[in-house]
Amino acid sequence: MRKFILSFAILAFALGAKAQDTKVSVGASLGLPTTSGLSFAYGGDIQADFGIAEGTAVTASAGYLNYAWKGGGGTFGYIPLLGGVKYSFGESGMYGHAQIGYGFASKGGGGAFAYAPGLGYNISDNLDLGLKYLAFSKNGTLGSVNLRVAYRF
């Protein structure tokens, strides 16, 4: 799995170097789970935005999100691989982002369908803030509302 994520990162950076409309960002996330029994979520990801039209981009991301049980019961994580579409709302810096994909469980359990609708704001050319609901669905739903702070290259 680490080789896959590394390969994805190299591909994203290579595409970013070739296309002017491609932007790559590295982000850190903190979240509040919407599933009972969990206290918080944290992780990081890498994302590539491939511009396809004015204000619209196709996205691809890979990362890791760790969940902590309440009362010190340990942690578990998912490796989400997501593809989506990002739409900018004019010159305001605001955008909407919808993603779908698959999340691989880091400790057994296979994986689950993943989806993540969100909103964000481009603070500057290099700094991005996003708020999204990331959920993994398989025999129930595990979800969290996450704040992503990212540096864009």
- Model pLDDT, residue 73: 81
Percent share of the chain, pLDDT over 90: 73
pLDDT band at 5 (very low <50, low <70, confident <90, very high): low
Q: 38 lies in which domain range?
A: 2-152
Region 36-45: mean pLDDT is: 95
- Residue keyed to tokens 């991301």: 61
Range with lowest mean pLDDT among 11-20, 64-73, 129-138, 143-152: 11-20
Q: Which CATH number is 145's domain given?
A: 2.40.160.20
Which candidate, 85, 82, 75, 74, places its Cα nearest to that of 136?
82
Number of structural domains the chain divides into:
1
* pLDDT value of position 19: 53
pTM of the entire structure?
0.84
The whole-number pLDDT of residue 17 equals: 46
Name which of 117, 123, 115 is nearest 94 in CA terms: 123
Lowest mean pLDDT among 12-16, 22-26, 77-81: 12-16
Show the 3-state SS of the chain. Answer: CHHHHHHHHHHHHHHHHHCCCEEEEEEEEEEEECCCCEEEEEEEEEEEEEEEECCEEEEEEEEEEEEEEHHHCCEEEEEEEEEEEEEECHHHCEEEEEEEEEEEECCCCCEEEEEEEEEEEECCCCEEEEEEEEEEECCCEEEEEEEEEEEEC
Residue 13 has pLDDT above 60, yes or no: no
pLDDT of residue 136: 95
In the predicted model, what is the mean pLDDT of residues 2-15?
54
Q: Per-residue pLDDT tens for 80-132?
A: 999 999 999 988 999 999 999 999 998 877 899 999 999 999 999 999 999 99
Lowest mean pLDDT segment, chosen from 22-26, 68-72, 75-79, 80-84: 68-72
Kindly tell me the sign of the dihedral angle through the C-alpha atoms of 6, 31, 115, 14: negative
